[in-house]
Amino acid sequence: MKKRISESTIHRLSLYYRALSLLEKENVVTVSSKELAKREKLTPAQVRKDLSFFGSFGTRGLGYQVAELRSRMSHILGINRDWRVALIGIGNIGSALVSYKEFARQGFHIVKLFDNDQRKIGSNHKGIVVSDIKDLEKELKEDNIEIVIVAVPATVAQYIVDDVVAAGVKAILNFAPINLRVPPEVCLRNENMSMELEYLSFAVVNNHTPKKVI
Amino acid sequence: MKKRISESTIHRLSLYYRALSLLEKENVVTVSSKELAKREKLTPAQVRKDLSFFGSFGTRGLGYQVAELRSRMSHILGINRDWRVALIGIGNIGSALVSYKEFARQGFHIVKLFDNDQRKIGSNHKGIVVSDIKDLEKELKEDNIEIVIVAVPATVAQYIVDDVVAAGVKAILNFAPINLRVPPEVCLRNENMSMELEYLSFAVVNNHTPKKVI
DNA sequence: TAATTCTTGTGAAGCATTTCACATGAGCGG
DNA sequence: CCGCTCATGTGAAATGCTTCACAAGAATTA
């Protein structure tokens, strides 16, 4: 399996995983691509094609075993395990994310907090003591952090990310509204909430309706 | 101009707008598609093609006037004006968003807050008194709200959104991790932070590097 | 004014993604 | 056990998006 998987496919895997989790809770045993597609507003062919990149998980004439497919999806997405996540920047957004239960529910555990504000360093948020940003690289290494969430002002984000990369972290979720440079082996995702509002304002002004909802 | 504009193009318009704002601050007067592309890690052809959907804004041999193009972009995106935004759900995420200055900076003003918790109703957040969710439809109409941010638990999100739609709102930014049903004329965007972390965990587990960073 | 340089705007080509459509296999009822 | 129904998995077609490549316009210099 050396074919490049598209970003859209990966996002849809998350959707499938979520739908399957719900189905399992509803005690549904098998599900067809048709039903799965309906639940996530996709086409059955799309569902089957996405899954086919990773193997043949279904049974002709019957569909997919909900529990089994969910487990497969979690393996493919890498969420069949726990992740140690560090959060940098304990401002508005940062504080909210520390308390955001959805992350832990999916196995993403925020276990380190960093800030540069002396008043925040040493303080306790949800049982985690805030570390000094000065020790970022050292502590990320020591604690085997694999994913970092950056929630600092745009002006300092690049410096922070340089340190994060130096610490060997390969996955970064960035909330600062700025285009960050990272080496090609690092996966960077941007969460730019203003851009989403701008999308909406574009839609309203131009009477535009998106084909697919992300 | 009746061609369907792709989601990617709209997102890139936001990037152009941001880059142009910075250039203007740096007192740069003109910019080429090449330079603009470099700043946002795109190709010059992509920049020109995107702009060409909306008109011819450049001068051959010279490039684009920074100030003028920025103004054009803001008109196209609909951010040359202020927007009245309501925020529903004053939990972790909701509270953070009320204080998030980036929104107001782009002209998105949160002017209404709603919650169903009696302890929160009537309380004051950044100068805004929290309204009872029961009055949602009425107050959204009265206050001419055009954009709504939904930051409530997934279990109640659909009911809330039904009311929002009934109030005639045409643009919704949803933070609840659930697939919401809205009529076709309503533009719904989902901000699913867990999905972004899942993307990262997929990338780490599969040694996958995305072609383009969103 | 003519030659040169620069960079836009845009059809056409090249890729990528989505959808179609059907062969194939599994279950089930008679 | 045969025929019928159902639903997968997948090449091929269709659609959509990005990149190429170049004609053409604008400034500048001689």
pLDDT tens-place string over residues B24-35: 999 999 999 999
The CATH-assigned architecture of domain B7-77 is: Orthogonal Bundle (1.10)
Pick the more confident residue, B118 or B3: B118
Question: Is the CB of B190 inside 8 Å of chain A's CB atoms?
Answer: yes
* Interface contact flag, B187 A200, Cβ < 8 Å: yes
Four-point Cα dihedral A40, A42, A47, A48, nearest 10: 140
Helix (H, G, I), strand (E, B) or coil at B179: coil
- Give the residue-averaged pLDDT of B158-177: 98
CA distance A97 to chain B (A): 7
What contacts B99, CB < 8 A, 6 or more positions away?
A92, B126
Tell me what percent of the residues of chain B surpass a pLDDT of 90: 94
> Residue A6: is its pLDDT beyond 80?
yes
Closest CA to A157 of A99, A85, A89, A211: A89
Contact assignment for B173 to A196 by CB distance below 8 Å = yes
- Chain D footprint bases within 7 A of protein beta carbons: 5-11, 16-21, 24-27
pLDDT of B211: 75
Q: What does the pLDDT read at residue B26?
A: 94
Q: CA B204, B206, B208, B213 torsion: positive or negative?
A: negative
Which two tokens mark B187? Answer: 């533009």
CB atoms within 10 A of CB A81: 10
Contacts across the A-B interface (CB distance below 8 Å)? 210
Q: How far apart are the first and last CA of chain B?
A: 26
Higher-pLDDT residue of B162, B4 = B162
- A157 vs chain B: nearest CA distance in angstroms? 15
Q: In B32-186, which ranges are E strands? A: 64-65, 83-88, 108-115, 124-125, 128-132, 147-150, 171-174
CATH of B83-195, one of 1.20.1250.20, 3.30.365.10, 3.40.50.2000, 3.40.50.720: 3.40.50.720
Name the pLDDT band for A211 (thresholds 50, 70, 90): confident
Residue B2: band (very low, low, confident or very high) from pLDDT cuts 50, 70, 90: low
Task: From chain A, pick out residues whose CB is under 8 angstroms from the CB of B95.
Answer: 92, 96
For residue B12, give the chain A residue with the closest CA: A195
Average pLDDT, chain B: 96
- Average confidence (pLDDT) over A174-179: 96
Model confidence band, residue B4 (pLDDT cutoffs 50, 70, 90): confident
Residue nearest to nucleotide D21 (CA to C1'): B45
User: What per-residue confidence (pLDDT) applies to B214?
Assistant: 61
> pLDDT tens, B45-54?
999 999 999 9
As a rounded value in angstroms, the CA-to-C1' distance for B164 and C22 is: 44
Per domain, the residue ranges of chain B are 7-77, 83-195
* Distance from CA(B126) to C1'(C17), angstroms, rounded: 45
- pLDDT, one tens digit per residue, over A18-46 is 999 999 999 999 999 999 999 999 999 99
Contact A77 B205 (CB under 8 A): yes
How many Å does it take to go from CA B9 to C1' D17?
Answer: 10
pLDDT value for A1 = 44
The yes-or-no verdict on residue B135 having pLDDT over 90 is: yes
Residue B1 confidence (pLDDT): 43
* Interatomic CA distance for residues A132 and A134, integer angstroms: 5
Please tell me the predicted confidence (pLDDT) of residue A214. Answer: 60
Question: What's the pLDDT at A127?
Answer: 96
